[in-house]
Amino acid sequence: MWTKEDIKDQTGKTIIVTGANTGIGYETALALYEKGANVIIASRDLIKAEQAADKICKTKSAGSVKTEVLDLTNYESIRNFAVIIQKKHSKIDVLINNAGIMMPPPGQTADGHESQFGVNFLGHFALTGLLFPLLKEAGQARIVTVSSGANVLSAGIDYDNLKLQKSYDANREYADSKLANMIFLYELQRRIDQSKGNVLSVGAHPGVVYTDLQRHIEKETLKAAFAQFDEVMQPWQGALPSLFAATVTDVQGGDYFGPDGAKELTGYPAKSSLISGIAKDTTQGAKLWDYAENATGVKFIF
């Protein structure tokens, strides 16, 4: 049973956690700070980020916590964030792409993409690409993509409906965005391997956790959904797969972790089998990569 107490010393490491002002992201940032890391909370809401940082800092540690504004719906904000990080830091040891939205009303990002696909995937694609030079400077950095077991529910990405050209289904679009995360995880590792790079692309899903992520789901609907589970985990436990992927020594590129309980709903970190058959398809990987480059204007320098 692996917990955050098993995390090795992270002193000297610079770690970015997106969406770390609340929920799983907050618990991830807290655990890494407690182990001595210099953590950067990247959040759209600076006030909430600073409140989270203040709360984290009440625990004594050799680490530090800083905050920076990052709006994943807006490429200008993402580029501004990257510029600030590049000015302040010579390397990044771990980037945890944790932030996300789940089943909101229909909406679009600044460039017109459906909001879940835009935030959960495209925003993090752009962020990772812009920060990739700093990740390469770290020796063996890690990029942790936080996905969801919902990736297996996607029938495949409909490229003709990524800007709501046809219809909107909150569940479908969420699953598609999480499938995109999975395809990205594996395609990124393939490209790193081809370039003989030393960065690891890994991933995790939290299992069934009650967090602010479900704020767009009606209370009665959410209550009924959770009632079918014998146990619903707290955010600290949902953060463990991400923490495992980010810190355990023998993690390999392309590894993906989730809870070890029945159907990977609850438990402690282990290799996950909740992986869509589409996720590792090289043709799909290349197609999504090309789309993301064109949509964001960001190209990775391997």
| Average pLDDT score over residue span 230-240 | 83
Mean per-residue pLDDT, 169-186 = 97
51 pLDDT more than 60: yes
Residue 214 has pLDDT above 90, yes or no: no
pLDDT of residue 262: 86
Distance CA 20, CA 208 (A): 18
Strands 142-146 and 14-18: unpaired
Which pLDDT band holds residue 139 (cuts at 50, 70, 90)?
A: confident
Per-domain boundaries in the chain: 11-293
Give the largest Cα separation in the chain, rounded.
52
Reading the block at residue 34, the tokens are: 């407690």
pLDDT at 218: 52
Round to whole Å and give the CA distance between 145 and 217: 24
Average pLDDT over residues 280-299: 98
Residue 112 has pLDDT above 60, yes or no: yes
Give me 284's structure tokens: 């799909």
pLDDT reading at 260 higher than 50: yes
Reply yes or no on whether the pLDDT at 209 is more than 50. Answer: yes
CA dihedral 119, 123, 128, 133 (to 10 degrees): -160
pLDDT at 229: 53
Place of tokens 């789309």: 291
- Average pLDDT (280-291) is 98
pLDDT of 253 strictly over 90: yes
Q: What confidence category does residue 220 fall into, taking pLDDT thresholds of 50, 70 and 90? A: low
Proportion of the chain above pLDDT 90, given as a percent: 88
Query: What is the rounded CA–CA span in Å between residue 48 and residue 22?
Result: 8
Predicted local distance difference test score (pLDDT) of residue 213: 56
Average pLDDT, the chain: 93
Of the pLDDT bands very low, low, confident and very high (cuts 50, 70, 90), residue 210 is low
CA 219/CA 233 separation, integer angstroms: 18
pLDDT value of position 222: 47
Q: Which residues are catalytic?
A: 174
- Specify the fold of 11-293: Rossmann fold (3.40.50)
pLDDT band at residue 230, thresholds of 50, 70 and 90? low
Dist. CA 35–CA 74, nearest whole Å:
32
Task: Answer with the residue of higher pLDDT: 224 or 257.
Answer: 257
pLDDT at 141 over 90: yes
